[in-house]
Amino acid sequence: MTQAYTGGCACGAIRYEISGEPIFQNHCQCRDCQHKSGTGHGSYLTFPRGGVKHSGQATLWNMVGDSGNVKTRAFCPTCGSPVYMTFAAMPDVFTVHAASLDDPGRYRPQVVTYAVRGHEWDSLDPALPKFDRMPPM
């Protein structure tokens, strides 16, 4: 059995523990992720929801993503750290921000999504496959 993925917000008020391996790991260059991160992309690990345990009270913000589907961003009301996301169109998955991991070195990006919105100054690994939108998972 692999070691659980653990993490949370900067102040520790929100914590998660996830058993199992991620089913998808990506850099996303959509405008929403650019706004959220303050840079050119966001970096994420997506897991089956069944292996997720989390604690603490997150502030939730529902928004419509580039896909036209509702996604819910969860962040800490105390320190403001973005921690996880859920998606109305994919209720069986749970996505965490790579930087929220206790060991961010476990993040292994597989693809770049929404590359059509990327900026020349946001240099990502050129070997990663790029998709103009979200590929099927």
Rounded to an integer, what distance in angstroms lies between the CA atom of residue 20 and that of residue 133?
A: 26
| Domains: count for the chain | 1
pLDDT computed for residue 137 by the predictor: 61
What residues make up the domain containing 83? 13-117
Quick check: 71 and 65 in contact, CB under 8 A? yes
pLDDT computed for residue 60 by the predictor: 97
| Reported pTM | 0.91
Report the DSSP pairing between strands 42-48 and 52-55: unpaired
Query: Which CATH number does the domain housing residue 50 bear?
Result: 3.90.1590.10
In a domain, 123, yes or no: no
Rounded to an integer, what distance in angstroms lies between the CA atom of residue 26 and that of residue 43?
A: 6
In a domain, 5, yes or no: no
Walk along the chain (137 residues) and give the pLDDT tens digit of each residue. 579 999 999 999 999 999 999 999 999 998 888 988 888 899 999 999 999 999 999 999 998 877 788 999 999 999 999 999 999 999 999 999 999 999 999 999 999 999 999 999 999 999 999 998 877 66
In a domain, 63, yes or no: yes
